[in-house]
Structure formats: C-alpha cells, structure tokens
Amino acid sequence: MKSTRLEPAEAAAPIVRLAADTIGDTGETTSVAQEMDRLDRARQFAQPLLANSRFDTGENALDHADGVAEILRSIGAAPSMQAAVYLVYAGDYLSEPETVVEQAFGASYASLVTHTRQLVRIQRNARNAWTDETDRELLAEQLERVRKMLLAFSRDLRVVLLRLASRLQTLRFYAATKAPCPVALAREAQQVFAPLASRLGIWQIKWELEDLAFRFLRPDDYRRIATELAEKRIEREQGIEAARDHLAHELAQVGLQAEVHGRPKHLYSIWKKMQGKQLQLSRVFDLRALRVIVASVPDCYAALSRVHEVWRPLPEEFDDYIARPKPNGYQSLHTVVLDQDGRPLEIQIRTREMHDHAESGVAAHWAYKEAGTKGYAGVSAAGDFEGRVAQARRAVLQQLLAWERDFVGHNTPAQSFFEERIYVFTPQARLIELPAGATAVDLAYNLHTDLGHRCRGARVDGQMVPLNTPLVSGQTVEVISTKEGGPSLDWLNPQLGYLKSQRSRAKARAWFNARALQETIARGREAVDKLLQREGKTAIKLDDLAGQLGFRNAEALFEVVGKDEFSLRNIESVLRPPAPVAPPTPESEMPLFKPAAAAAGGRGAVLVVGVESLLTQLAHCCRPAPPDAIGGFVTRGKGVAVHRADCANLRQLAGRHPERLIDVQWGEVAPVQGRPAVYPVNISVIAHDRQGLLRDISEVFAREKSNVIGVNTQTVRETARMTFTIEVRDSAALAHVLRQVAEVNGVQSARRK
C-alpha cells in the first residue's frame, strides 16, 4: 500500500509539537494567521538570497528550502517552524546571520540559525573525512561520533527536526534527478538519521529515509524487490482493503469497538526481514498486514480469539508481546493467518496506549499523560506549562540517549550525558570527541601522546588562543607544536585549567615520571662508574656485571643504585678477587675428600663415602648447606654434584640413572683466614612494592653479615617478587636471617627456595 500524506492536525508527532514550543520568544499564543504571515515574511526574506544559489549537491537552494518546509508541514509542524527553514538557509549568505535574523525575527530564530548552521558544517566535514570507504573501523567510528554529535545538539529539538527533513529532501532530489548519490551521505541517512527519526516517532521520515538510502546503497536489491512488489501491488492493495472491511465487521458483530488499519510494508524493511531470516519474498508473511487498536488488554485477547475464528492461524507465527514485552517496552499481539484465498495476512492487536508507545515512545507518553485534560496547547498556567515542557524535553532526551545506547552501548546517565562531551574538528576534518571543558592540549594528547608533549599553541577557527581556553562543539582546532620538547609542569595544576581529560593528565604525568627515572639511572650510573674507577675495573662490561648481581641489564642495576636501594658493597664483593688458594697438598697427604667447587677457597666440603680424592661441587638448583640431608650424583667430567636429599632434580636424575647415585656427607672444614666456611643459598621474598623496599631488605642482610652475591626482582600489580642468593654458615643461620627479613615492613613471606 502507498502511504498517504496525513493532515497536519492528525499527523503531528508529539515530538514535533514539543519542538514547536521553542519557536516563540514570549510564550504567547499566536493565531494561524499570524504564523502564516511569519512564514510568508521568512520566505520573502530568503528568496533573493537563495533563488540563484545551488548547494554542493547541485540542488537549487530555494527549491531545497521549499522541500524541507513541505516535509515539516506534512509531519504536522506549525508555520512558525516552517519559517525557520528559510532563515537557516538564508544565514549562509549573510555576513552576520545571527544578528540580522535576531533583529528581524527574534532571538529564538537567531539561536536556531546558529545551531543548525554549526551542525551542518560539522556533518559536512565529517562526511569529507570518509575518504576510505574500505576502512570499516574508521566508518564505524565516524558514524558513532555523528550520532553523539546530533545528541549534543538536541537540546534544541528544532535543530534535529530540520536536519532530518533536510536529509530527506536531499535524497528525494537525488532520486528525482537520477543523479548518483554519495555513498557516505546515503550511509549516514540509513545508519544515523533513520534510527533517530524512529526514536522520535516520525515514521513517515523514517520509512522514506530507509527506502531511499536502500535504493542508493543496494540498487540491484532495491530494483529486484520493487519489481516483484509492483507486479502485485494493485491485487495486494485490494486484498488488504477487503480484509480490513471484513475484520472490522466481524469485530463489531461481537461488540468490540476497534480501529482497523491497513499497514504498508516498506522495501527496506522487507529486505531486512528477508536477509535476517533467510527468506524468499514469497515467505515474507507481513507484506499484507492489518493493525487493530482496541480499548483494553482483555479486548486485545478477545479480538485475537475472533481473528482466529474468522481465519486459520499459523501457530508458529504467533507472538504475545503483551505478556512478554520486548526489552524496549514494546507490547502487542502478533499473529499470521491464512485468508479465504489461502494467502498469509499478518495482524497486530494492541491498545491505544501500546500503540502510542510503539509509535512515539516517551514523547507520546508525555503528550497523552502529562499535558492534562486540556491537551498540549490548553494548559493555562504559564509556570505549570513551562514545567511540563521542561519535563517532556528531558524525557525526549532520555529517549535519544536510549537510541545512542542501542548503537554504542553507552551507560552514562541521561542528565549528565549532554554536559560531559564536546565534538571538535581537526584541520583534516577528523571529528574528535572530548570531555566538556577540554582544551587544545587535551586534543593534542587525544591525537597522539608525543604531539601532546610538544604542543605549544593552538588556533581555534583560525584564531590564536591560549592553551587553557575551553573548546566548544563545532570548532576546528589546529595544534601548533615544536619538533621536540616536553609538557609544562603547569599543565598538571588543575587550577590553571590546561588539562581537563584524566587520560591527558596521566600522559603528561608519565612523561615527568620517565624523566625522573632517567635522572635516577644517571645518578646510579655515576656512582657505579666511580666505584669501578676506584677498583680499577673500568674495562668490565656493565651488562655482565649486572647479570652477575642478578639484574636483567645495566640500567636496572643503575636504577636501584640511584634510588639508594642497592648497596655498592654488593658490587665490591663481585669485583674483588677471592683470597689466594693454599698450594696443593702432596698426594700422600691428600684427605679423603676435596672441597666442593661451589665452595672454593675453604667455604665448605663434602665427604664421598668410600671414595678418595673425588671432586665434588654443590648443585646450583637447590643450594645445599649444613646440616641439610644431601645426596650425590656422579656427573660426566665434573665429579660429584651434591644435592639436597629432597631436590626434585636429584629425584629425576635418580630415576634415569640410579647406578650413578653415591652417598655423601658433610665434612669438617677449618676456617680460612679466620673466616668460617659459608654456603650460597637462594631465598624467595614476596612483598608489597614500595619505595626503599630493596634497601631495607639489603640492610637486614648486611646486619646479619650475610653476603648477597645475586639478586633478581620483578614487580607485577604492586607485588614485588625477589630472589636473593646469600652466603650463610648453615641452615640455622639461614632461618634466623629469614625471620629478620619477614619483619621488614611490607614483606608478606620470606622462605628458602
């Protein structure tokens, strides 16, 4: 069925009436004659400016304005709203449009001109930025930002309505002239403007936008479906009208007061259903559809019962959205029946309130429930009227916000959403979303961290401005930067207003932290270099030195030295050569054991039971120390490796080569140069990371006279995991050291590995 143009008094969507309220500056009621006079004056004012001008689409400017005004009239907009169309387009050809319009028509029209022209400029720049049609991620990002930008301008609902009507007129022009429509423009109409019109309950615009965009984006599919439908249109329209009369008569016969309407199915919705359910056109049952509106919920089910008595239902095509409403609150009964000719016919049954909600959402709820018994225009008390309008407008903005959430999953509360974001452009027409109050420095950090560090100035709409100037939506901002440099400490002062975004502030703070780290590393390097000069070890490789101390590289060593968290004494112990070894003992005087290789210089010894003069070494995996239970394993060419009896590696070796196990025991070793024998052991420390932690633990080792010969640290999510290799006399001394380490502030556990 073709949709017929409704009379304005009947067709005006609640959102249209709500937007029209903001036209008047005084709040006084105007007569139809006065409004028509205003419309005539506006057109006469704009005609000389628009008559000989053309838009970049090729359409005559005055013809476009006439088309937009007619679209607004068809959806019920008052003449005063239509008058705004001519003033908006005339503003493009005036040197000071806001001033001129305000003097001639009032401040409300001037505000509308300002906001609409600003929005048009932003949209045009956004489309120009979509140069790569294959970059799906960029397209999705730009579409999302255009939706958000529309919401940012929707405080004045007239702006949104004008843009909807303007986009529809542009698509009509391309269709009428058969000129190729830009893909970006059609996609924006389909994915931004049509869903917005749907949310606002302006179905005529929504359907036509979808069909025209479908025609330009998928011309082959559009022509195929249009051809198939055109062949049967007259038959289908006659069948729907006959079914409508028949159902109305049957409902009246059982005493049900009902409105029965034929519902047209538009091409795009047909195609979407075919794609979504993988159907052929012949299987789309709601090409022929009726809608029944009754007084109450019991009447809905009574009407459903009568429908199923008159025609044979298809059980698999029945949905009860009254008992189980859709997530958006939609309620209705849906059923598909076969008429007397065996053709499918979809029927929707709902109450008036359900219908109003389905058609116009929150705006309809306001129009029918909030305006009182006198209706929208009949509220007499000015204060009460203004309060209701404000409440209605908030409700509509919440509906718009719900639309936004459908697309991008936003969860920001409605009352703060419009206050928290602005939308600005780069000189390359890239649309950028920023928090309200953001500055050019925030924009620079949004574009690239390094650009933010080097930002030194900004031009806003071609004019130089201070860096702490708050930006507003619609501005074009050019960032001026140096080739190198960093941020200013003033940027981190919230009182000066240079940075609004927490993300930008974190990036600037990270730069200063990195610079402080570099200075710390430089101090550590200087201290290590001086030590190497005193020890005469300047030729040593720094990374090798760091590796011997348990660090991943030299910079990690310099960092802890620069923070005073690692004593230079630990480095001295690695740099200074071991004490001289006594001359070899004659073979005749050689004892039954040799010192373990890992404890060279008299640091420890192991007896190999029953074997003389066999070289032994302490295993690095378990680091045994007296009086640990130990076991020996004969290696190839390196003597006997001594492991702790509970060492996992020893168990694995024994499983593979049990014949190479050998009994060993601790021997007695005399002190060397007055020092008792010591053994290297590994200990593991887990602690909450903090400044000075490594220094405090190192002081414990120094106090207990436990030499540190290796250290490795790693911090993950503020938890430090440290491994130290220290030298102890025996396990008892080690236990005492571990108790002392466990008492250090922040240490969670200290144990032997």
Residue 395 falls within a domain, yes or no?
A: no
What residues does 640 pair with on adjacent strands? 616, 634
Quick one: what percent of the chain has pLDDT higher than 70?
A: 71
Residue 307 falls within a domain, yes or no?
A: yes
Tell me, what's the pLDDT at 9?
A: 35
With bands split at pLDDT 50, 70 and 90, how would you rate the model's confidence at 386? very low
Q: Largest Cα–Cα distance in the chain?
A: 132
Separation CA 624–CA 633 (nearest Å): 14
Residue 452 lies in domain: 421-500
With bands split at pLDDT 50, 70 and 90, how would you rate the model's confidence at 64? very high
Q: The whole model's pTM is what? A: 0.46
What residues does 607 pair with on adjacent strands? 665
Residue 543 falls within a domain, yes or no?
A: yes
Domain end point (choices 217, 241, 270): 217
* 160 in the same domain as 97: yes
Residue 397 falls within a domain, yes or no?
A: no
With bands split at pLDDT 50, 70 and 90, how would you rate the model's confidence at 417? very low
Tokens coding 174: 């391309």
Domain end point (choices 611, 633, 666): 666
* 340 in the same domain as 447: no
> For residue 10, what are the contacts with CB-CB under 8 A and spacing of at least 6?
76
pLDDT for 439 beyond 90: yes
* 528 in the same domain as 486: no
Residue 630 falls within a domain, yes or no?
A: yes
DSSP class of residue 659 equals G
* 190 in the same domain as 72: yes
Phi, psi (rounded to 5 degrees) for 750: -140, 120
159 CA to centre of own chain: 27
Q: How many domains does the chain have?
A: 6
Q: At what angle do helices 267-277 and 219-230 cross, to 10 degrees?
A: 110
Using DSSP's 3-state secondary structure scheme, residue 690 falls into: coil
Pick the residue with more confidence: 374 or 632? Answer: 632
pLDDT for 24 beyond 60: no
**What sign does the dihedral 410-411-415-419 (CA atoms) show?**
negative
With bands split at pLDDT 50, 70 and 90, how would you rate the model's confidence at 150? low
Separation CA 90–CA 46 (nearest Å): 5
Quick one: what percent of the chain has pLDDT higher than 90?
A: 15
> For residue 6, what are the contacts with CB-CB under 8 A and spacing of at least 6?
74, 76, 204
* 102 in the same domain as 37: yes
Give the number of other Cβ atoms within 10 Å of residue 516's Cβ: 10
* 543 in the same domain as 442: no
* 86 in the same domain as 212: yes
Over residues 575-583, mean pLDDT: 59
Q: Which amino acid is at 10?
A: E
Task: List pLDDT tens digits, range 89-116.
Answer: 888 888 888 888 888 888 878 877 777 7
Tell me, what's the pLDDT at 295?
A: 92
With bands split at pLDDT 50, 70 and 90, how would you rate the model's confidence at 345? confident
Tell me, what's the pLDDT at 464?
A: 92
Residue 323 falls within a domain, yes or no?
A: yes
Q: How many CA atoms lie within 13 A of 151 on its CB side?
A: 33
Mean pLDDT (the chain, rounded) = 75
Pick the residue with more confidence: 540 or 606? Answer: 540
Whether residue 516 contacts residue 454, with contact meaning beta carbons closer than 8 Å, is answered with no
* 249 in the same domain as 148: no
Over residues 8-32, mean pLDDT: 50
Residue 649 falls within a domain, yes or no?
A: yes
Tokens coding 363: 């705006």
Task: List pLDDT tens digits, range 284-307.
Answer: 545 678 999 999 999 999 999 999
Tell me, what's the pLDDT at 458?
A: 92
* 72 in the same domain as 103: yes
**Alpha helices (H) in 106-182, listed in sequence order:** 107-128, 136-152, 157-177
Over residues 647-652, mean pLDDT: 84
Residue with tokens 């920023």: 434
pLDDT for 274 beyond 70: no
pLDDT for 23 beyond 80: no
* 713 in the same domain as 651: no
Residue 294 falls within a domain, yes or no?
A: yes
**What sign does the dihedral 699-703-709-710 (CA atoms) show?**
negative
* 632 in the same domain as 544: no
pLDDT for 522 beyond 70: yes
* 662 in the same domain as 686: no
Tell me, what's the pLDDT at 601?
A: 35
Over residues 328-350, mean pLDDT: 85
